[in-house]
Amino acid sequence: MIENHFKSIKSWPEEDRPREKLVKYGSHTLTDTELLAILLSSGTKGESAVDLARKIVLKFKTFQNMSHTDIRDWKEFKGLGKTKITKIKATLEIARRFNATERKIELTKVEFTEDVVKLFKARMSNLKNEIFEIILLNSKNTITDTIEISKGTPTGTNPIIREIISKALQKYASGIICIHNHPSGDSTPTKEDEVFTKALKEALKLMNIKFLDHIIFGKIEYFSFDKCKRENYV
């Protein structure tokens, strides 16, 4: 890997290139430096985008620190013009607004399946990849956190169940709602979905954690295991 830092990213092995890694393995597998390098798009003569991104991360430490900077704070970086700086600042602002929206979801009380659907349908029904998340609730059915557990169809049910229980215990959750999407657009549960849901429900019962529902989001409808039926979005 060290020798790659002195070459153009295009000459790197595909598994080392930030963009290719994102497409193949997901954005969550990239480091802060690699994510920033994608935004930069290019470096300077004798310095790749990753090299430049690394210098920026070393200076500011976190994306949060970057968001509180002035354009003048970026002048020391050669090859970093106003276009790239404003792109980074705009991206950080988008992230800030997204987080603000996510925080509004937390501390929301849910009483019915429809409450959960209204909160999450805009995001879950338009994803191109299958995402599995858990919604953690306290004893008053108030959302305290949402956690992404996996991307893609669970192939190892037991490991995922252990991870879900571990997260719930760490966050002192009293109840759990599972949500995931079917990129095909059809919310009909698969046999794997049914087996997984039954196993999770039984495991949570042993830990005295309430299993409230598992909702599958399709394109125009959703399926609720609690209600055992599909319904159109309203």
SS (H, E, C) 127-191: CCCCEEEEEEECCCCEEEEEEEEEECCCCCHHHHHHHHHHHHHHCCCCEEEEEEECCCCCCCCCH
Q: What is the pLDDT of residue 13?
A: 63
Where are the chain's structural domains? 2-103, 113-232
What CATH number has the domain spanning 113-232?
Answer: 3.40.140.10
The mean pLDDT value for 35-53 works out to 85
DSSP state of 219: S
Per-residue pLDDT tens for 151-186?
A: 765 555 566 899 999 999 999 999 999 999 998 999
The mean pLDDT value for 181-202 works out to 93
pTM over 0.85: no
Q: Does position 229 have pLDDT exceeding 60, yes or no?
A: yes
DSSP state of 12: S
